[in-house]
Chain A
Amino acid sequence: AQSVTQLDSHVSVSEGTPVLLRCNYSSSYSPSLFWYVQHPNKGLQLLLKYTSAATLVKGINGFEAEFKKSETSFHLTKPSAHMSDAAEYFCVVSDLRYTPLVFGKGTRLSVIA
């Protein structure tokens, strides 16, 4: 069975400083991994997707994530936080054997001016 653990429920950073949102996954098959972002009162938006190609995945708005199989991790990073990055972020796993997405509980990112 697949599962995702987001290690922080809330992360707070100052504007202009780096962002790190941590995610560990469990999958018995070759996983696809995603990060989605949810702004207040808005729908889920795909940030980036890993599907067994390059282990470093670049997404929208300057975000990127690195797939580390040995650590079963898929952490999301951004070099410099912007106020507009404040939102809820979800790490998600899926695979070819079980296509519905399995979401983590989310990490709320706050950006302080």
Chain B
Amino acid sequence: DTGVSQDPRHKITKRGQNVTFRCDPISEHNRLYWYRQTLGQGPEFLTYFQNEAQLEKSRLLSDRFSAERPKGSFSTLEIQRTEQGDSAMYLCASSAVGTGAADTQYFGPGTRLTVL
């Protein structure tokens, strides 16, 4: 396995602009998760997919955020009309559905977003 990859690793944008991040999960992992981590905090769940279906969205995911996983492989996370409060590390994780226990999630390196 090549691991979870994310692109870009860093993104600097101006307030009001739209940004899109991409995540490529470990091949054959059918679950894909997005988390957000702000400075000094643990990651917080945003949304997750099983194959191409988006199964859950956190209340943290405002209507400016949208995520897709069109073919059940890679996923994109778009933020429209960015605000300074969106500045954070956006983490992607993938897992294979386990049996009898919560699946183990493997994380990518993250995309650090800075909104000026």
- Give chain B residues whose Cβ lies under 8 Å from the Cβ of A100: 33, 45, 48, 56, 58
- Give chain A residues whose Cβ lies under 8 Å from the Cβ of B42: 90, 92, 103-106
Shortest distance between the CB of A37 and any CB in chain B (Å):
11
Given contacts A43-B110, A44-B43, A106-B42, contact A101 B105 (CB under 8 A): yes
In the complex, which residues 8-34 of chain B have their Cβ closer than 8 Å to any Cβ of chain A?
Answer: 31, 33
In the complex, which residues 86-101 of chain A have their Cβ closer than 8 Å to any Cβ of chain B?
Answer: 90, 92, 94-96, 99-101
B109 touches A51 (CB 8 A): no
Select which of A32, A51, A99, A103 is within 8 A of B43 by beta carbon: A103
- Give chain A residues whose Cβ lies under 8 Å from the Cβ of B109: 42-43
- Give chain B residues whose Cβ lies under 8 Å from the Cβ of A75: none
In the complex, which residues 86-101 of chain B have their Cβ closer than 8 Å to any Cβ of chain A?
Answer: 91, 93, 100-101
B contacts, CB < 8 Å to A: 4, 31, 33, 35, 40-45, 48, 56, 58, 91, 93, 100-110
Count of chain A to chain B residue pairs whose CB atoms are closer than 8 Å in the complex? 58
In the complex, which residues 31-84 of chain A have their Cβ closer than 8 Å to any Cβ of chain B?
Answer: 31-32, 34, 36, 42-46, 49, 51-52
- Give chain B residues whose Cβ lies under 8 Å from the Cβ of A49: 104
Task: Knowing that A36-B107, A43-B109 touch, tell me 13 more A-B residue pairs with CB under 8 angstroms.
Answer: A32-B101, A45-B107, A96-B101, A96-B102, A99-B48, A99-B103, A100-B45, A100-B48, A100-B56, A101-B45, A102-B45, A103-B42, A103-B44
A contacts, CB < 8 Å to B: 31-32, 34, 36, 42-46, 49, 51-52, 90, 92, 94-96, 99-106
B108 touches A43 (CB 8 A): yes
CB closest chain-B residue, reference A43: B109
A-B contacts, 28 listed (Cβ < 8 Å):
A32-B101, A34-B104, A36-B107, A43-B107, A43-B108, A44-B91, A44-B93, A44-B107, A46-B104, A49-B104, A51-B101, A90-B43, A94-B102, A95-B102, A96-B102, A99-B31, A99-B102, A100-B33, A101-B93, A101-B105, A102-B45, A103-B42, A103-B43, A103-B44, A105-B41, A105-B42, A106-B41, A106-B42
